[in-house]
Amino acid sequence: MKAVRYLIYTLLALALLAIIAVAVAVTVIDPNTYKPQIEKVVGDTTNLELDLAGDISWSFIPLGLELNNVEANLEGERLAALEQLVAQVDFWSLIAMSPRVNTFVLKGMDIRLEVNEQGNGNWTRIMPEPSGETGAPDKPAEPAQEPAQTADGSTPLNFNVDNVQIANARVHYNDRTTGQQVTLENFTLNAADITFGSAFPLDISFRVETAEPELTVDGSVSARLSVNQTLHEFSANSLEAAFDLTGEPFGGKTVTAEVSGSAAANTKNETASLQGLTASLANLTLKADLSVNGFGEQPKVAGSLSVQEFSLRELLKNLGMPAIETTDPKALNALAFSTDIGGAGGKPELQSLKLQLDDTNFQGSGSYDLTTSAIVFRLQGTRLNLDRYLPPAAQEGDAASHSEQQQTADSGSNGGTTPETDLLPLETLRTLLLDIDVGLNELIASNVTVTNLAAGLTAKDGLIRMDKLSGNLYKGSFKSTVTVDARQDNPQWKVTAGVTGVQTLPLLTDLAELTMLSGAANLNADVTTRGNRVSALRENARGEISFNLAEGEFRQMNLTRMACRGIAMANQENLTTSDWGTTTPFNDMRGTLKVDGNTLNNTSLVAALAGMKLEGTGTVDMARSLLDYQLGLRIVGEIHRAEACRVTKYVENVVIPVECRGNFTEDPATLCSFDGSRFRDTLKNMAANAAKAKANEEIDQAKKKAEEKLQEKLGDDVGEKVKDKLKGLFN
């Protein structure tokens, strides 16, 4: 017992001596006397000029050191400055042989970082360049004692701090190569009870200003952090962050962004998670619960992600951005997104995917392969009216102003035309690996309604194929395929399409307000082209389009009236009928269009009309929207009750010429008219028919008279055989 007692007395005596020694040292030693030596050491070992302008003072309980007004200059310019640095160690933790920092305070820190015109930062010049001289070889360093390790082989850190305070810190960054300037100021950090393995509170506030673009961010962050001794495991709970953003990107407005939730990561196990994360910007709010297993090339992601319903119009307004002008002012007021995330490692999948665009809802799934970059999507939507999202139609005054502005903008070095740009990013397309299927119950585009729309798109190594584009429209259906070979710089295009039973009148009316034609259309197209610009695609288009229209009519034109006009002229009479109507019914109009660049050549247009057969050839100039057709109305029967339009044997089977020329986007009634120049040939045919008929009539009359006279002279006694031979002679 006595030995233990003496040992305790000895330890207490040593502790008392240590306390006395520290107290004497703090009292007797003035650290300010060492300022010149400290400044000289810094100057000798670096390119910095250290100026310890303020006092250096000791404190005993708690044991600490305080520096004031420190400045470091580099090449005559200030690099860093510090108003005050306080470092205090808990004295009793020293006695217990477990040092613990009581307080660490940093006030008024000012750092200036600059990149010159050559792209070199001033901080790279703090240390002097090596002289290249070799001196005496250094003595081999004694092996350091290895610190203790944890069970998993990592080295623990013993870092226990009661309080850390950073106040009024400032960092200014200036890049002369880009003109960018960034300033971090009013930076404040407060942390207390910092101990590895235990959660401690952290509060940060700051202001950041940038010059390009002009932007100011006032931020504050608070959370309870936890870090284990091996720095493998991190967590942030009760995270609350707010940022006020003001400046050029937001039109001078102030926008608030907020983040809350919890996050954790374990670098050894390669796991991370976000729990209850909520991030908002103005009226846009994102929620996420995610976990990641594996930080390598095959991470496995699981959880959920959603964007709550928001108004895009309100968001743009809140962000100080220009509004999106749409035909429907109520469009873009309800957008939302949600999905579950799963899938195997390296292939995250979007499951139960839901998209909302106003009153249109999509459901489906998707996936992305991190190894191959393959994207797979399956989406099925309800009803989508694309016309709602088009820019509103310009008013008459606005249209004229826009036309003048466009002419001014187009008057450049290229002969007053805007230079064309490529349609497809070929290099990007060659890297795509896609498999996408999209469907819509109903789609309205350019005022055309399509139901049961289905579209499938695949892409691999620059070969893009839309092999399933189909749907129903206007009591009919369509199906087409489009292939684009982008493996070469001059991409090849191939389009095949089939249309069955589509009513042309409502389609043309809704599409382009054209009412010139009606009927059930059947069409087959096979067209190829090449190029990556619209003009090249038009010029290089080659192929064939065959069509037929059953039980239709030409509207706003009466071909019967044109035919009757020619017949009346042949009959040398005048038409008195005025009630002709404005349509011409037909049955089974068909033809073939040869595609030759911007020109469509129609070589075999035929149609069956009442008492007539329509025949003709012509061309369609798609670049200028022009028709140039020469038609013929072959008379095969009675076509009208008008007396002047009666079909005599002189008129039957002749062709009444009609020409159709002009812009087919304008009034259809002005396109087709009676072709008087070609009617001269028709009159010649009629005259020839009439002369032939008159000659035949005269011959028949002469034969009849000759037979009668012969009969009188021969009398009734001549046998029948003789009479038959005489008739054959006259014939």
Judged against a pLDDT cut of 80, whether residue 134 lies above it is answered with no
Give, in order, the Cα–Cα distances in Å from 492 to each of 435, 436, 487, 622: 21, 21, 9, 21
Mean pLDDT (the chain) is: 81
Distance (Å, rounded) from C-alpha 479 to C-alpha 524? 10
**pLDDT given for residue 157 in this prediction:** 46
**pLDDT given for residue 403 in this prediction:** 47
Judged against a pLDDT cut of 60, whether residue 15 lies above it is answered with no
What global pTM score does this model have?
Answer: 0.73
Judged against a pLDDT cut of 70, whether residue 305 lies above it is answered with yes
Q: Quote the tokens at residue 580.
A: 């002709």
Judged against a pLDDT cut of 90, whether residue 727 lies above it is answered with no
- Percent of the chain clearing pLDDT 90 (strictly above): 39
Listed ranges 1-5, 207-211, 573-577, 600-604; the one with the highest mean pLDDT: 207-211
Q: Note the pLDDT tens digit of each residue in 360-410.
A: 999 999 999 999 999 999 999 999 999 999 998 766 555 444 445 444 444
**pLDDT given for residue 706 in this prediction:** 64
**pLDDT given for residue 62 in this prediction:** 64
**pLDDT given for residue 610 in this prediction:** 85
Q: Note the pLDDT tens digit of each residue in 222-248.
A: 999 998 888 889 999 999 999 999 999
**pLDDT given for residue 414 in this prediction:** 46
Q: Note the pLDDT tens digit of each residue in 509-536.
A: 776 666 677 888 898 999 999 999 989 9
Mean pLDDT value of segment 190-209: 90
**pLDDT given for residue 91 in this prediction:** 56
* Single-letter residue type at 33: T
Q: Note the pLDDT tens digit of each residue in 456-473.
A: 999 999 999 998 899 999
Judged against a pLDDT cut of 70, whether residue 696 lies above it is answered with no
Which pLDDT band, with edges at 50, 70 and 90, does 708 fall under? low
Distance (Å, rounded) from C-alpha 512 to C-alpha 507? 8
Higher local confidence (pLDDT), 36 or 284: 284
User: Helix 559-570 and helix 676-714: axis angle, to 10°?
Assistant: 50
Distance (Å, rounded) from C-alpha 285 to C-alpha 308? 6
Triad 245, 250, 252: Cα angle to 5°: 85
Residue ranges per structural domain of the chain: 38-107, 556-731
**pLDDT given for residue 8 in this prediction:** 52
Higher local confidence (pLDDT), 289 or 37: 289
**pLDDT given for residue 327 in this prediction:** 93
